[in-house]
Amino acid sequence: MSMTMTQKIIAAHCGMDEVRPGQIVMAETDMVLGNDITAPLAIREFEKAGFDKVFDRRKIALVMDHFTPCKDIKAAQQCLEVRNFARKHEIVNFYDVGDMGIEHALLPELGLVGSGDLVIGADSHTCTYGALGAFSTGVGSTDMAYGMAAGRVWLKVPSALRFELTGAPGRWVCGKDVILHIIGLIGVSGAQYRSMEFAGEGIKRLSMDDRLCIANMAIEAGAKNGIFPVDEKTMEYEKKTGRRTVRYEADPGADYEAEYRIDLSKLRPTVSFPHSPGNAVPVDECEEIPIDQVVIGSCTNGRLEDLANAAVVLQGRKVSKDCRAIIIPATQKIYLEALEMGFIRTFIEAGCAVSTPTCGPCLGGHMGVLAKGERAVSTTNRNFIGRMGHTESEVYLASPAVAAASAIAGCLVSPEKLGIN
């Protein structure tokens, strides 16, 4: 039987020669991930079940990234619960204030996840690691609890969709524009419980940061996971993080429920209107909608390349007095690199606030909560009702370049609209 890339990775982690779509399997995990919101629930289930030790203290990652530095007493209590568990079980990969980062940027950066891996995480955007050629997917806290105890997870093998990427993206078009276009094309349930598998010569035109963004938002199309083939860029990235590259390839006769062809050269900077990532339109077709806040960061777009694009737009310019701009590097390493490259100075001189790594504003937690009636352009991955604050606020999803241009104009615009090329 011919298999997709995802199916091959799952089969290998089940000790099987092959698996088929719809089959229920028990798979070995290479990494189990939790954060300061989801891990406390998993820890309580772990202890309620009577487990007294973890399966491998090196294959569990606990990252305090959502409400940290702690925004209130409840957040502090949750972090304390995770700290105590990490100490008790001597969890090697525990990351707290000062050395933590946004989990889905931190784990690839540290080489804790990589090609050929099977990764589960109690966070829906765990699908990010498919950019490296891994099968990674979000699970509930109960599954995380069992994963910490046994190092296994049950899965239903997903069927697949194939996205053939051709051409080269133009100026100001990045991974965020690609995935917003695709979600607009197939809808927010267009890949429901399927694997989104990317292929084609256009992939070589996408940076690793582009791929991480695209794989991250596979869940916004309802997918079980998103995955890219392993190529020279993957190997170069993994060499830097100390990983050994493991290559799985889809069989030539692999079965896909549907195939889509995306010409990257025809894409334009794209924005998704409230209240769905599927409401995607080219930004140059949008009205210049007044905005109150811009957020550049998150597990989708807080990496160095994202900050570089924002810095080019903001260099020598000022944020509108009618708009707030918040910049959040995704990890401490990225923060330092941005500092050394002068990006942080550019942001501050432009009138931006620059934060320690946190997921805070993405989920309306802290560091940028919206009031009633306010609008934000954000590089985050969701714009549901109330996602970043009040239920009567609005979030427009966009790339770092579009977000930065909008901060300058005080309304939704592209960099080209401001004459920035």
Task: Give CA–CA dist 403/357, Å, rounded.
Answer: 18
The token duo for 165 is 């990427």
Report the percentage of the chain scoring pLDDT > 90.
Answer: 99
The token duo for 119 is 């990764």
Residue 29 has pLDDT above 90, yes or no: yes
Residue 75 has pLDDT above 90, yes or no: yes
CATH code for 5-262?
A: 3.30.499.10
Q: What is the pLDDT of residues 198-211, one digit of tens each?
A: 999 999 999 999 99
Average confidence (pLDDT) over 322-345: 98
Residue 421 has pLDDT above 90, yes or no: no
Q: Check: CB of residue 36 under 8 Å from CB of residue 78.
A: yes
The token duo for 124 is 């829906």
pLDDT higher for 304 or 68? 304
**Which distant-in-sequence residues (6+ apart) come within 8 Å of 26 by Cβ?**
14, 152, 153, 154, 155
Total residues belonging to the chain: 421
Q: What is the DSSP letter of 275?
A: T
Considering the chain, what is the average pLDDT of its residues? 97
Q: Check: CB of residue 75 under 8 Å from CB of residue 96.
A: no
The pLDDT value given to residue 214: 98
Task: Give CA–CA dist 143/151, Å, rounded.
Answer: 10
The answer as to CATH 3.40.50.2000 being correct for domain 272-415 is: no
Residue 1 has pLDDT above 90, yes or no: no
Residue 84 has pLDDT above 90, yes or no: yes
Q: What is the torsional sign of CA 125, 126, 130, 136?
A: negative
The pLDDT value given to residue 100: 93
Average confidence (pLDDT) over 346-357: 97
Average confidence (pLDDT) over 265-270: 98
Q: What is the pLDDT of residues 101-122, one digit of tens each?
A: 999 999 999 999 999 999 999 9
Q: Could you tell me the pLDDT band of residue 33, with boundaries at 50, 70 and 90?
A: very high
The token duo for 99 is 């050395």
Please give the model's pTM, rounded to 2 decimal places.
0.97
pLDDT higher for 377 or 1? 377
Average confidence (pLDDT) over 235-249: 96
Average confidence (pLDDT) over 136-157: 97
The pLDDT value given to residue 202: 98
The token duo for 112 is 């804790």
- CATH 3.30.499.10 in the chain is located at 5-262, 272-415
Q: Check: CB of residue 145 under 8 Å from CB of residue 45.
A: yes
Burial classification of residue 419, based on how many CB atoms lie within 10 Å of its CB (0-12 exposed, 13-18 middle, 19 or more buried): exposed
Average confidence (pLDDT) over 168-188: 97
Phi–psi pair at 339, nearest 5 degrees: -65, -45
Residue 30 has pLDDT above 90, yes or no: yes
Q: Could you tell me the pLDDT band of residue 401, with boundaries at 50, 70 and 90?
A: very high
Q: Check: CB of residue 99 under 8 Å from CB of residue 331.
A: no
Cα distances from 328 to residues 166, 212, 215, 307, in angstroms, run 32, 17, 20, 9
Cα distances from 7 to residues 33, 108, 207, 225, 251, in angstroms, run 21, 22, 25, 11, 10
The pLDDT value given to residue 134: 98
